[in-house]
Amino acid sequence: MHEFYVNNKKDILRYHDLPGSGAPILFIHGLGCASTYDYPEVVSCMPLNGNRRILIDLLGYGYSDKPDDFSYSFQNHVEYLVDLVDSLHAEKVNIFGHSMGGAIAIALADRIKEKVSSLIITEGNLDPGGGLTSRRVASFSLDDYLSFGHDKIIDDSMNNQNEKWATTLKISNPRAVYFGAKDLVNGSTPTWRELLYSFPFPCTYIFGTKSLPDTDEQELSRNGINVFRVNDAGHNMATENPEGLSKIIWKGINLK
């Protein structure tokens, strides 16, 4: 486990830096998740296990510090990720983002275009409005979410057989989850979709087959995005079909 000081060196971001060759792959997790929990099996599969892989727990999540005085805006997440990328001393990087992490990955890629070799998104947020979970979280007031909303969503996830997400949600800072959900609902200007369509490097968007049909399959393809499917998986494809996801990521980082 590696450590990187952020937030004016008051807090520590923690991540795995798994050795390998080529441009490193940065993994950015979704809302209430943790890369160190979601992606070890994915990055252990051949042939992805030959690459340098950076499994990042965003501030407020997983093994990283969870300060209450950090804003948890996407902009502030991106600021320290830019610094982290600089610290890796890599000429090029591949960026992977899932769900909320897809939006953050797009914003990061926009900041460091000259360093990006490829961008891979798994069912990431592209437009304002959020998804079912982020809209539910954002529907609470901050006080209500902190006092009972966070625990309620954890309990509901456990009862709905979504234990793996509940596990990482339970150790997430409720403020990080709340403000992340708010940013997803509010969106960005330009939108993440507009940024994605503007990038000069290869961009891949991945759907789980259980999430289909989705009209975005055709829309993304029409706009030059490489679209792939992971079989036998839905939104949580990293845990539902890690080998299948690993193979598609490998394709994504090797597109020209």
Residue 125 lies in a domain: yes
Percent of the chain with pLDDT over 90: 96
CATH code for the domain in which residue 123 is found? 3.40.50.1820
Closest CA to 54 of 20, 82, 79: 20
**pLDDT value for 8:** 82
Which helix or strand (DSSP H or E) is residue 112 part of? Answer: none
**pLDDT value for 7:** 81
Q: Scanning the structure block, which residue is given the tokens 């501030």? A: 59
Q: Where are the alpha helices (DSSP H) in 149-241?
A: 150-159, 163-170, 174-186, 192-198, 216-222, 237-240
Whether 209 has a pLDDT exceeding 80, the answer reads yes
**pLDDT value for 142:** 98
Residue 103 lies in a domain: yes
CB 201 within 8 A of CB 255: no
pLDDT in tens, 119-155: 999 999 999 999 999 999 999 999 999 999 999 999 9
How many angstroms separate the CA atoms of 64 and 109, rounded?
A: 22
Q: Name the residue range of residue 76's domain.
A: 2-129+188-253
pLDDT in tens, 245-256: 999 999 999 987
Whether 161 has a pLDDT exceeding 90, the answer reads no
Residue 64 lies in a domain: yes
Q: In degrees, to the nearest 5, what angle opens at C-alpha 226 toward C-alphas 223 and 231?
A: 130
This prediction has a pTM of 0.96
Residue 218 lies in a domain: yes
Residue 13 lies in a domain: yes
**pLDDT value for 197:** 98
Instruction: Give the number of domains in the chain.
Output: 1
Residue 139 lies in a domain: no
pLDDT band for position 9 (50/70/90)? Answer: confident
**pLDDT value for 148:** 98
Residue 192 lies in a domain: yes
Mean pLDDT of the chain: 96
pLDDT in tens, 12-40: 999 999 999 999 999 999 999 999 999 99
Residue 221 lies in a domain: yes
Residue 124, C-beta contacts closer than 8 angstroms, at least 6 positions apart: 97, 98, 99, 100, 101, 102, 103, 105, 106, 192, 205
* Cross-strand pairs, 17: 54
